[in-house]
Amino acid sequence: MKSRIFLLFAVIGFAAGLLAVSGCKSSVNSVENAQKTGQRQMISDQRVITDRGLARKVSIVGVNQVTTPGGFLKVQIELLNTTRSPQRFSYRFEWFDASGMLISSPAAPAFPDQIDGGEDKFITGQSPTPACKDFRVKFLENTN
Amino acid sequence: MKKILLLSLAAAALPLIVGGCATKAHYVQTGGHESLVTVGSINIQDYIQAASTMTSELLASGALDKVPTPPAVLAISRIINNTGEQIDTDLLTKKIRVAVLQSGKALTTTTFGMGGSSEDPMAKEIQQNGELNTGLGTARTPDFTLSGKIIQTVARDGSTSQSTFSFQLSLTDPRSGLAVWEGEKEITKQGGRGSVGF
């Protein structure tokens, strides 16, 4: 009887282990030049977190911005997947004029994206008009 | 007795199951995360994504700024559809046109089309009448033309299918015939055969 129970637990344990291994992906290794030539203009950001799970898994490392020669605001956000498995999410940029009014654009999609385990990734957005002065980026976890 | 009880319970649960699965018609945000995703066709969010990415790249390139009298005048040339479905390429080009106009960097002509055709025949007629009356040409020759291609690449492995849609655009200076800007956006979707996602 005892050996049967042991066997049952062994089978369940093996199956659980197999599932865990198959669900787990290897994380990203990277290499880059140590002495950086380019200087990023980092800006202070304000965050509103309502999905702590997503914020924990895909953390925002920093935000930098530049104004292009054409007068457009270009924003770059550095993200880090703190887990070892790929994470799917979507993001959408919103742009505001000098009066803080939202500027609507026909081409303002929610970009679906994926970040591999341990990967450090940049997402960028450019304002639709030179009149944009501020921005907001919304992140949403893709469950499927 | 037990069988009857089980059957009646199953019969009672059936409408609940069926009712729970049915989706009531409702509005969703266009291009939002609730939009349906199909592997074998271009969804609206794909057009929006492609248009947004390529417009940003076009504006950032500064190509539209290099005209003697800004804003630049843009004419829409041929967009070739090399996908397996019939599509209206205006779903891509109109978004780009609106975004470029909104940026203040370019205007699109609606009286200048391929083979003498025009998007707005009445505007063209009025323009031609004006030219006849004054004897002067009033139409601004386009500074640039926008042409492109949409290509679909399909791959299958067992029950998994994958489609890559490549949106390619070229901005050409008609005076020199040189492409002054080129952009490409690829969107890849994967899923089981006939699968639909969000």
C-alpha–C-alpha distance, residues A35 and A32, integer Å: 9
Summarize chain A as % helix, strand, coil (round to 5).
20, 35, 45
Q: What is the pLDDT of residues A102-132, one digit of tens each?
A: 998 766 788 999 999 999 999 999 999 999 9
Please state the ipTM of this predicted complex. 0.77
Beta pairing, strands B144-157 & B72-82: parallel
Burial B146-185 (b: 16+ CB within 10 A, else e): bbbbbebeeeeeeeebebebbbbbbbbbeeeeeebbbbbb
Under 8 Å between Cβ of A24 and A84: yes
Q: What are phi and psi of B125, to 5 degrees?
A: -65, -45
Distance from CA of A108 to the nearest CA of B (A): 6
CA dihedral A82, A87, A92, A98 (to 10 degrees): 0
- Percent pLDDT > 70 in chain B is 83
**A21 falls in which pLDDT band (50, 70, 90)?**
very low
The DSSP H or E segment spanning A62 is strand A58-67
Per-chain mean pLDDT for chain A = 87
Nearest residue on chain A to B54, judged by CA atoms? Answer: A107
Chain B residues touching residue A137 (CB < 8 angstroms): none
Where helices occur in chain B by DSSP H, the ranges are 2-21, 44-61, 90-103, 121-134
Distance from CA of B96 to the nearest CA of A (A): 8
Q: Is it the case that residue A33 has pLDDT exceeding 50?
A: yes
Partner-chain contact B99 A74, CB within 8 Å: no
Residue A105: predicted pLDDT = 77
Partner-chain contact A128 B102, CB within 8 Å: yes
A104 in contact with chain B, both atoms CB, cutoff 8 A: no
C-alpha–C-alpha distance, residues B193 and A133, integer Å: 45
Q: What is the pLDDT of residues A49-59, one digit of tens each?
A: 999 999 999 99
Q: What are phi and psi of B44, to 5 degrees?
A: -60, -35
Partner-chain contact A107 B62, CB within 8 Å: no
A67 in contact with chain B, both atoms CB, cutoff 8 A: no
Partner-chain contact A107 B105, CB within 8 Å: no
Q: Which residue in A107, A140, A142 is closest to B48 by CB distance?
A: A107
Under 8 Å between Cβ of A95 and A132: yes
Mutate to test the interface with B, among A105, A113, A135, A142 (most CBs of B within 10 A): A105
Partner-chain contact B49 A125, CB within 8 Å: no
Number of other CB atoms surrounding residue A31 within 10 Å: 5
Over residues A19-28, mean pLDDT: 62
Averaged pLDDT in 10-residue chunks for chain B of 198 residues: 62 56 82 88 94 94 93 96 94 94 94 84 85 71 96 95 97 96 96 68
Nearest alpha carbon to residue B176 among B143, B149, B153, B134: B143
B9 burial via Cβ count (<10 Å: 0-12, 13-18, 19+): exposed
Partner-chain contact A111 B49, CB within 8 Å: yes
Residue B74: predicted pLDDT = 96
- Percent pLDDT > 90 in chain A is 68
Q: Which residue in A68, A105, A109 is closest to B49 by CB distance?
A: A109
